[in-house]
Amino acid sequence: MEELYTLEKEVGRGSYGVVFEGHIAKTGKKVAIKHLPCRDPECIELYLQELWAMRATAKNHVNIIALHSSLLQTGQRSLKPLRKGKLPLQLVESVLKGSVGQDRGSQSNPRRRTNAVSRLQDRTNSPPSNSPYSLTPQRPPKRARKRPSQRGDEQPGSMRCSALWLVMEYCDGGDLNQYLLSRPLDAHGNHSVVQQLSSAVAFLHNLGIIHRDLKPDNVLVSVTPSGPIFKVADFGLSKMSEGLVDGNLTRKHFSSTCGSDFYMAPEVWGGLTYTAQADIFSLGVMFWAILERITFVEEGTTQEQLGAYVCKGRWLMPLGEALWENADLQLCIPMKWKRAAPLPTPPGPAMCGLLFDMLSSNPDSRPTADQLESRVRSALKEDSH
């Protein structure tokens, strides 16, 4: 291995794995290192999707989190760097067979399962409460989601390929929720967020990648002297299209119900097949919340989050769910009058019109990602006059 990495502390934990802050031993450069234990085929399939999507984006867009390298843990004290353009065959085989390969020798000394990998010096501690690398979408228990199941007959450490490690760029500004909600209202900054994220999603869709879990938690912030750079991250639920239909993704259909409740499109809520336009709806929810600083606290959590919604009595209903129940529901954009001061300048007429289109209950009425990028620029320019 050309570069060795040192783990400093844990900065995020979820159902699928753990993210650490680390450094490249030779250069001292700070990186984020995601540890994904290979427990069962369903987990592994998600890992391979994330790896493939991140490799496809490589370091080609400033608003997409960059993958530096990936490594496969093949034993208690061995890491194998993965070659570019190649998927680990052992993990692919596990997905195809529906079972995880067993390593007989690894069961001889179960106590060694907790040992740190020698080539990753483990100096970890507990994650901070405001971790910018949250891996688990917080979802109310009322709706089932496609989740990897953990099998009781498979023990950690008894696998031939025990874990996948992803080494990524480190973002020091936290996630979008933490960054924006910890700062004063800034219309210019909000416009920058909207422009950068629309550019990122246009880039992904042009590569045939549908994120399927766009939300503020999955946007990380890199603070630079010239200003913050917002980066789409966490491709665990992403899907890569094998080919465009009629030259775009709006004809390519997917069926797995996944995402986070407050950002899911109506067609996903309804269990219908959906296209890349579901990402556009998720961005619409985020953009509305960013431009008007609309927040909520999801049931069972204490963290304030950016997100638009519909009030139904004492309850907050996700926009997608409300539009699935009533496709003719009239949204109030802007809704400045509903909230207490201080308030940001409400979006102008052109941006309001764009938000209405992004949040349409009909996916075909939403702009494509390419159209969105150009319309965001023109709407902000028009409203500035």
Q: Which residues are designated catalytic?
A: 213
Integer Cα distance of 264 and 229 in angstroms: 25
Tokens of 14: 């979820």
Integer Cα distance of 101 and 98 in angstroms: 10
Integer Cα distance of 264 and 323 in angstroms: 11
Integer Cα distance of 51 and 163 in angstroms: 13
- Which residues lie below 8 Å from residue 64, measured CB to CB, with a gap of 6+? 57, 200, 203, 204, 231, 232
Buried-state track 178-208, b at ≥16 Cβ within 10 A, e below 16: bbbeeeeeeeebbbbbbbbbbbbbbbbbebb
- CA nearest to 279, candidates 379, 145, 168, 370: 370
Query: CA torsion sign, 360 to 365 to 369 to 370?
Result: negative
Token pair 């879990």 in the structure block, residue: 213
- 8 A C-beta contact, residue 203 and residue 59: no
- 8 A C-beta contact, residue 228 and residue 222: yes
Token pair 């045939």 in the structure block, residue: 208
Query: CA torsion sign, 380 to 350 to 338 to 218?
Result: negative
Three-state DSSP class for residue 232 = strand
Integer Cα distance of 69 and 152 in angstroms: 31
